[in-house]
Amino acid sequence: MMRIGQGWDRHRLEAGRPCLLGGVRFDESPVGCVGHSDGDAVCHAVIDALLGAAGLGDIGDHFPDTDPKYKGANSLDLLAQAWKRVSDTGFRLCNVDLTVIAEAPMIGPRRGQMRASLAETLGVDPARVSVKATRGEGLGPEGRGECLTVQAVALLEI
């Protein structure tokens, strides 16, 4: 049996905050995501896609932003915990495909690092992780540089 899950996350951008995406730090970025944890919207969208495909709820069910123990949490650690919960039910990961929608930072030069980081956390070959990016072209909150949005899809099989 195969199951597909979708994840979507959006974070406001703020000057002077560290920018982490897919576990990779973009030191050159003048803005970073605001969040209860480390703000890694890529990890958050992938977590929701995995949990959704397995029928295990969403990121808020497992790592609520009202719980102080997740304040500043490393999102790769949260991803690893979510993946363990999913894989413990017998699912295997076929692939994850994600798209980052933002004016900055530029994803292309760091795409390989992001794929490797996510793949290592999920215990799969980087070929099973696809990272794409697009810009808002001046439209909407992404286009105005107010936020960063990530869409993710995960395919699981049992």
What is the pTM assigned to this prediction? 0.96
41-78: string of b/e by CB count within 10 Å (b at 16+)?
bbbbbbbbbbbbbbebebbeebbeeeeeebeebebbbb
Model pLDDT for residues 64-105, shown as the tens digit of each residue: 989 899 998 999 999 999 999 999 999 999 999 999 999 999
Residue 137 near residue 104, CB atoms below 8 Å: no
- Domains of the chain (ranges plus CATH)? 2-157 (3.30.1330.50)
Q: Average model confidence (pLDDT) for the chain?
A: 96
Model pLDDT for residues 45-68, shown as the tens digit of each residue: 999 999 999 999 999 999 998 989
Residue 116 — pLDDT band, cuts 50, 70, 90?
very high
Identify the bridge partners of residue 91 per DSSP, sorted by sequence position.
none
